[in-house]
């Protein structure tokens, strides 16, 4: 079959080259956006008198029929078509005759694909944002339930200072809030219509780009026609935001994997989100968390592939840019898949508060508080630090903990020690004394939960 663009060439492409050139296998995902954009374009053409009003109405009705048939399954994609735009136009022409051929007036596939992709990704951002909000709600629920559960905080993977499980959960919540902000920024900069830029130099027709953009929910139009068809910043920016989101999920996954190990036993993941071993019957593997961690590299690859594809392209459109869609579609699908698994995995996990506390007690994470106790009694911090470290070394040698040392042992190191030292180094007291903004106290965790829930509600209200 000759191509719809046949003219300068015969349009008879070698079958292998034709398959290599085709994009309909993946850009058919934008069918709804392509048809919706075409309906708005037909309406604009009719309103401006570029085509007859009755012709515009026929085009709109015909396009709606194609969309309905695709959604019902009455119409299948023809994979012999080069792309989704050619498929829709071909079916429309088959159904309407010469009227169908008028749809492409005053536009090019260059501005059409840029329009479709922006509309498609706008929808994807909204869906991903909703999934992030669901995960935030699950994190808030776990933080609320375990706001007072003492656990060791770590630096360098060494037990450092006492925090609470709720405090730890809210650290990830803050990361995810930033992810929502980044997605919102992407959506705002993406929401600029390229339609009417045509191939690269605009059109001689008296079009209404602003009206067409408003009809499709855009905030503005591209101010330069070359930029309008060649810009893929919005793809790179969204991929970057998704890569950062996956990095956060991967860090979280790493901790879930560690915490669910026999060595930690801080949490137990639901059977629904783990698997067994084919040979070792005792195993309960955190495969879902491991897959999220692994799929992070896949999204990173999508970002790097897109940046590399774009880096050497002259203006305006080049066929290389067809490679943008598989990467961005894959990244969006991967992120959504990970979030859909991650949220119920978090909400159903069991937190072992007894093991959290035991790890905190055995880690000497109240050593800083012991030093602070002496500082408040007038000792220079470095002197107090050395005394505290010496006492920790003594405890390690004698296989005991600071709280169990007799007062006379404390007083051998400094006469400033008194009975009140035990209250000062009690782990719960160590946490509750850290009342600085954003700290680990139960009250602070409550404040953080309220902050996140308010932010979720506000961001939900900002959606179009």
The question of whether 444 is a catalytic residue gets the answer no
Q: 115-150 in b/e burial notation, b at 16+ Cβ within 10 A?
A: bbbbbbbbebbeebbebbbbbbbbbbebbeebbbbb
pLDDT at position 281 is 74
Q: Does 373 share its domain with 277?
A: no
Coil, strand or helix at 437: coil
Residue whose structure tokens are 């048809």: 35
Residue 449 domain-assigned (yes or no): no
Q: Provide the token pair at 108.
A: 């090019």
pLDDT at position 9 is 56
Cα 329 to its chain centre, rounded Å, is 13
Torsional sign, CA 241, 132, 292, 257: positive
pLDDT at position 40 is 98
Q: Does 70 share its domain with 146?
A: no
The Cα–Cα gap between 210 and 220 comes to 7
Residue 435 domain-assigned (yes or no): no
pLDDT at position 5 is 44
CATH number for the domain spanning 417: value is 1.10.40.30
CATH number for the domain spanning 97: value is 1.10.275.10
Quote the DSSP letter at residue 391. Answer: H
The Cα–Cα gap between 175 and 139 comes to 12
Final residue of a domain: which of 105, 135, 160? 105
Residue 144 domain-assigned (yes or no): yes
CATH number for the domain spanning 312: value is 1.20.200.10
Q: Does 101 share its domain with 115?
A: no
The Cα–Cα gap between 110 and 237 comes to 20
Q: Does 152 share its domain with 90?
A: no
Q: Does 117 share its domain with 259?
A: yes
**Which residue segment(s) compose the domain that 78 sits in?**
15-105
| pLDDT tens series, the chain, 464 aa | 555 545 555 556 677 877 777 789 989 999 999 999 999 999 999 999 999 999 999 999 999 999 999 999 999 999 999 999 999 999 999 999 999 999 999 999 999 999 999 999 999 999 999 999 999 999 999 999 999 999 999 999 999 999 999 999 999 999 999 999 999 999 999 999 999 999 999 999 999 999 999 999 999 999 999 999 999 999 999 999 999 999 999 999 999 999 999 999 999 999 999 988 788 877 899 999 999 999 999 999 999 999 999 999 999 999 999 999 999 999 999 999 999 999 999 999 999 999 999 999 888 999 999 999 999 999 999 999 999 999 999 999 999 999 999 999 999 999 999 999 999 999 999 999 888 999 999 999 999 999 999 999 987 767 64
Final residue of a domain: which of 67, 88, 105? 105
Q: Does 186 share its domain with 300?
A: yes
Q: Is 381 exposed, middle or buried (0-12, 13-18, 19+ CB in 10 A)?
A: exposed
Residue 338 domain-assigned (yes or no): yes
Q: In total, how many domains does the chain have?
A: 3
The Cα–Cα gap between 305 and 125 comes to 20
Cα 214 to its chain centre, rounded Å, is 28
Q: Does 168 share its domain with 210?
A: yes
**Residue 163 · residue 151 · CB < 8 Å:** yes
The Cα–Cα gap between 339 and 304 comes to 22
The Cα–Cα gap between 338 and 295 comes to 8
Residue 27 domain-assigned (yes or no): yes
Q: Does 119 share its domain with 101?
A: no
Residue whose structure tokens are 């009455």: 74
Q: Does 134 share its domain with 281?
A: yes
Residue 197 domain-assigned (yes or no): yes
The question of whether 22 is a catalytic residue gets the answer no
pLDDT at position 2 is 54
Between the alpha carbon of residue 201 and those of residues 61, 204, 278, 362, the distances in Å are 30, 9, 62, 71
Residue 437 domain-assigned (yes or no): no
Q: Provide the token pair at 355.
A: 């093991």
Residue 439 domain-assigned (yes or no): no
Q: Does 135 share its domain with 180?
A: yes
**Residue 376 · residue 341 · CB < 8 Å:** no
Number of H helices, E strands in the chain: 19, 6
pLDDT at position 248 is 98
Reference 197, options 56, 82, 315, 83; nearest CA is: 315
Bridge partners of residue 154, in order along the sequence: 159
% helix / strand / coil in the chain, to the nearest 5? Answer: 65, 5, 30
Of 15, 22, 108, 156, catalytic: 156
Q: Does 116 share its domain with 156?
A: yes
Of 38, 168, 230, 277, catalytic: 277
Q: Does 354 share its domain with 275?
A: yes
Final residue of a domain: which of 86, 105, 124? 105
pLDDT at position 73 is 97
């Amino acid at each position: 079959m000759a191509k719809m663009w046949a003219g300068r060439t015969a349009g008879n492409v070698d079958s292998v080259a034709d398959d290599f050139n085709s994009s309909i296998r993946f850009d058919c995902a934008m069918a709804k956006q392509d048809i919706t954009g075409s309906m708005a374009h037909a309406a604009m053409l009719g309103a401006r008198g570029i085509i007859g009003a009755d012709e515009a109405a026929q085009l709109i009705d015909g396009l709606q029929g194609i969309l309905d048939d695709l959604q019902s399954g009455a119409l299948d994609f023809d994979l012999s078509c080069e792309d989704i735009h050619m498929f829709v136009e071909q079916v429309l022409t088959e159904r309407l005759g010469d009227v169908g051929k008028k749809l492409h007036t005053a536009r090019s596939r260059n501005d059409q694909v840029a329009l479709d992709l922006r509309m498609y990704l706008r929808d994807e951002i909204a869906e991903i944002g909703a999934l992030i909000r669901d995960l935030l709600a699950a994190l808030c629920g776990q933080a609320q339930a375990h706001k007072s559960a003492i656990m060791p905080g770590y630096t360098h993977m060494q037990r450092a200072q006492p925090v609470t499980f709720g405090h730890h959960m809210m650290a990830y919540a803050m990361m995810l809030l930033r992810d929502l902000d980044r997605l919102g920024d992407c959506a705002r900069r993406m929401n600029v219509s390229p339609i009417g830029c045509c191939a690269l130099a605009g059109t001689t027709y008296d079009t209404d780009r602003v009206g067409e953009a408003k009809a499709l929910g855009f905030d503005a139009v591209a101010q330069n026609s070359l930029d309008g068809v060649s810009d893929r910043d919005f793809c790179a920016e969204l991929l970057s935001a998704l890569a950062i989101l996956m990095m956060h999920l991967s860090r979280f996954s790493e901790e879930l994997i560690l915490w669910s190990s026999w060595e930690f036993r801080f949490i137990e993941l639901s059977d629904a989100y783990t698997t067994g071993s084919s040979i070792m019957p005792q195993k309960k593997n955190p495969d879902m968390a491991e897959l999220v961690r692994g799929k992070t590299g896949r999204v990173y690859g999508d970002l790097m592939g897109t940046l590399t594809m774009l880096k050497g392209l002259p203006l305006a459109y080049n066929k290389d840019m067809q490679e943008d869609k598989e990467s961005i579609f894959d990244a969006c699908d991967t992120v959504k898949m990970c979030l859909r698994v991650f949220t119920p995995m978090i909400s159903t996990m069991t937190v072992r508060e007894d093991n959290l506390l035991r790890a905190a007690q055995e880690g000497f994470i109240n050593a800083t508080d012991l030093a602070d106790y002496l500082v408040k009694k007038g000792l220079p911090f470095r002197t107090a630090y050395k005394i505290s470290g010496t006492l920790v070394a003594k405890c390690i040698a004698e296989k005991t903990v600071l709280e169990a040392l007799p007062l006379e042992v404390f007083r051998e190191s400094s006469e400033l020690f008194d009975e009140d030292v035990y209250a000062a180094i009690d782990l719960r007291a160590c946490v509750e004394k850290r009342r600085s903004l954003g700290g680990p106290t139960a009250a602070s965790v409550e404040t953080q939960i309220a902050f996140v829930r308010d932010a979720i509600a506000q961001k939900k209200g900002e959606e179009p």
